[in-house]
Amino acid sequence: MTVSQNSQPSPAPAFSLVIPCFNEARALPELIERCAFVARTGGGEVILVNNGSTDDSEEVLKKLLPASNGLVRSVTVKENRGYGFGILSGLAEARAPIVGWTHADLQTDPVDVLRALPTLEDNDGPILIKGRRYGRNFSDRFFTAGMSVFESLLFVKPLTDIYGQPTLFSRELIDEWGEPPEDFALDLFALYSARRLKYRVVRFPVIFAPRKFGSSSWNFNFAAKRKFIKRTVSYSFALRKKL
C-alpha cells in the first residue's frame, strides 16, 4: 500500500471520513468538490482510497487533490483486496477521534456527514451513527428487509439497513472490535460490534440517489446479488460461530 500525503491540514481534524474508490474516475471531480466542502465546513478530513483501480483514478487524484489544500488526501492500494480492505487502509491513516466511511458513487451524498456530526460531538458515551436509506426501488428495499430480518434473528440484535451510509463512530470501536473482514461484510461487522459493545446506535434518514457513473460491482443483476447474499450469509454464520 502506498500513501500519498497532500499537505495535511492542522490542527488535528474533528473527524476522518474514508471513501474507498474503485474505478470511479468519472465521479472523482464532483466527489472531491463535495468532500472538500464537508471537510472545510465540519473541520475534518476526507481520505479517498484508490482501491486498486484500473481506470484513470490515480491521474485524476493527482491533478485535483492539491486544490483541496490538504482537506482531501489519498491512500493508494495497488491491488484491490476488497471493499473492507480499502476502508481499513484508509482508517489506518485517519487522525481524528471520530472516524467512518461512505461510498464514492455519489448515491449517498458525503454532505450527509455534516448532519450526523452534532450528534457525535455532543455525545458523552460511545456511539455509532449510520444513515438509513430512502428513495430506492422495491427490489432493493425487499432485499434489505430480508437481510435485516435474517441478521437480526441470527445475532439476536437489531441489525437493519446494514449497508446504509455514512457510517461514523468514535474511534475506540476500532480498538475493541477484533479482527474485521476485508469485504462488504465490514458494514455488518461494524454495526454488530457496536451493538455487542453496547454503543448507542443512532440512525438518520438519507436520500439514496440514482448512480451517476458506471455500475455497481455487486448489485447489477440477480446473479450478482445472489452471489453477494451467499457470501454474506456464509460470513454471518462464521461470525456467529466465533461468538
Please report, for the chain, the start and end positions of each structural domain, with discontinuous segments joined by +.
2-242
Q: What pLDDT is recorded for position 212?
A: 83
Residue whose cell numbers read 449497508:
163
Q: Is 181 in contact with 144 (CB distance < 8 Å)?
A: no
> Facing residues of 202 across strands?
129
Please tell me the predicted confidence (pLDDT) of residue 107: 94
The Cα-based distances of 92 to 36, 48, 87 in angstroms read 20, 12, 9
Q: For 152-205, what is each residue's pLDDT tens digit?
A: 999 999 999 999 999 999 999 999 999 999 999 999 999 999 999 999 999 999
Residue 5 reports pLDDT greater than 90: no
CATH of domain 2-242: 3.90.550.10
What pLDDT does 121 receive?
79
Among 27-36, 139-148, 221-230, the minimum mean pLDDT is found in: 221-230
Is residue 215 very low, low, confident or very high in pLDDT (cuts 50, 70, 90)?
low
What values do phi and psi take at 64, rounded to 5?
A: -95, -30
Q: Fill in the amino acid letter for 59.
A: E
- Residue 186 CB: number of other CB atoms within 10 A? 22
pLDDT attached to residue 122: 77
Q: What is the pLDDT of residues 56-86, one digit of tens each?
A: 999 999 999 999 999 999 999 999 999 999 9
CA dihedral 118→84→237→173, nearest 10 degrees, is -40
Q: Rounded distance, CA 126 to CA 171, Å? A: 9
Is residue 185 within 8 Å of 159, Cβ to Cβ?
no
CA distances from 105 to 40, 90, 99, 153, 210 (A): 21, 17, 20, 31, 9
184, 24, 16, 154: which is closest to 91 by C-alpha? 16
Distance linking the first and last C-alpha atoms of the chain: 31
